[in-house]
Amino acid sequence: MSNWLNGKVIDNRRLNEYLTSLIIDADLGGYEAGQFVRIGLPDGDDVLARPYSLVNTPQERHLEVYFNVVEEGPLSPRLFDLQAGDDILVASNPSGFLTVSEIPDCKHLWMIATGTGIGPFLAILKSEAAWEKFEKVVLCYSVSYASELAYQQVIEMIQARHGEQFSYVPVVTRESRPGALDKRIPFLMQDGSLEQTTGIDLNASDSHVMMCGSSHMITDVSAELNGRDMKKHRRRDPGHFTTEKYH
């Protein structure tokens, strides 16, 4: 059961007419970069809530969630319309396994995101643990249109801070954009272009893969990794990839 914390919206930073970041002031206790928390609004006598990954690091003052409107969905359109000063509910129990502490020791961390699935990876990339634990960190971020590539300045700052330890691969699938690959991620793995672009092998002995976003991407990339003798990671049965499905 969640206890609800009373939060306030500090800002609604819209990227376009269906993508936004909400900045929230709420007294959330301890959590790890990469975790999610349930966010809610009153709904009659109940609370209507959904899980959202935290984009902020635990050290940052405010909570941040990044999401898209699902037009037929009950909550996301209401969240999208919130404004600075509005009340919002935040569950007191953040959770989730998409964290660096859950990953077995290995050399290379691959983060693969579609759409708003970039959120938890930003929290991890802004924190220290991944940079201390892995020789190389790759972020592969796929969207349909170039205008949906969010947080590019944050990613530039991460690149400037971590230099060659960090490899960023933007992917735009429905139009061409200079500097971005243009095929779906499973194809980029099959034809070798993901490894060619980064100069890093993706294999069972060196790599752990985190995936976040659409179930299509996660299913197809998981199958591709299975073909490389990599299996899903579980605490009791350590493996090579960790997933978080948004839809």
User: Running DSSP on this structure, what letter comes out for residue 216?
Assistant: H
Subset of 33-72 contacting ligand FAD (CB under 6 A)? 36, 50-53, 65-68, 70
Length of the chain counted residue by residue: 247
Subset of 187-226 contacting ligand FAD (CB under 6 A)? none
Q: Does 75 participate in binding ligand FAD (rule CB under 6 A)?
A: yes
Subset of 145-174 contacting ligand FAD (CB under 6 A)? none
Minimum CB distance to ligand FAD, residue 199 (Å): 30
Closest CA to 139 of 101, 170, 168, 171: 168
The residues near 212 (Cβ < 8 Å, ≥ 6 apart) are 53, 98, 111, 112, 113, 114, 117, 118, 119, 120, 121, 243, 244, 246
Subset of 115-144 contacting ligand FAD (CB under 6 A)? 116, 119
Q: Does 21 participate in binding ligand FAD (rule CB under 6 A)?
A: no
Minimum CB distance to ligand FAD, residue 4 (Å): 16
Asked if 107 and 207 touch (Cβ cutoff 8 Å), the reply is yes
Minimum CB distance to ligand FAD, residue 193 (Å): 26
Which H or E run includes 190? helix 185-190
Minimum CB distance to ligand FAD, residue 214 (Å): 7
User: Which residue's Cβ lies closest to ligand FAD?
Assistant: 73
Q: How far apart are the first and last CA of the chain?
A: 23
Closest CA to 90 of 1, 31, 2: 2
Minimum CB distance to ligand FAD, residue 207 (Å): 23
Alpha carbon 21 to its chain centroid, in Å, reads 13
Minimum CB distance to ligand FAD, residue 160 (Å): 25
Residues 31, 33, 38: CA angle, nearest 5 degrees = 60
Asked if 105 and 9 touch (Cβ cutoff 8 Å), the reply is no
The nearer residue to ligand FAD, 15 or 180, going by C-beta atoms, is 15
Binding test (CB under 6 A) with ligand FAD, winner from 14, 43, 73, 156:
73
Q: Does 74 participate in binding ligand FAD (rule CB under 6 A)?
A: yes
The nearer residue to ligand FAD, 224 or 244, going by C-beta atoms, is 244
Minimum CB distance to ligand FAD, residue 36 (Å): 4
Asked if 210 and 98 touch (Cβ cutoff 8 Å), the reply is yes
Q: Does 114 participate in binding ligand FAD (rule CB under 6 A)?
A: no
Please tell me the distance from the alpha carbon of residue 134 to that of residue 166, in angstroms, as a whole number. 10
Please tell me the distance from the alpha carbon of residue 9 to that of residue 27, in angstroms, as a whole number. 13
Binding-site ranges for ligand FAD (CB under 6 A): 36, 50-53, 65-68, 70, 73-76, 116, 119, 244, 246-247
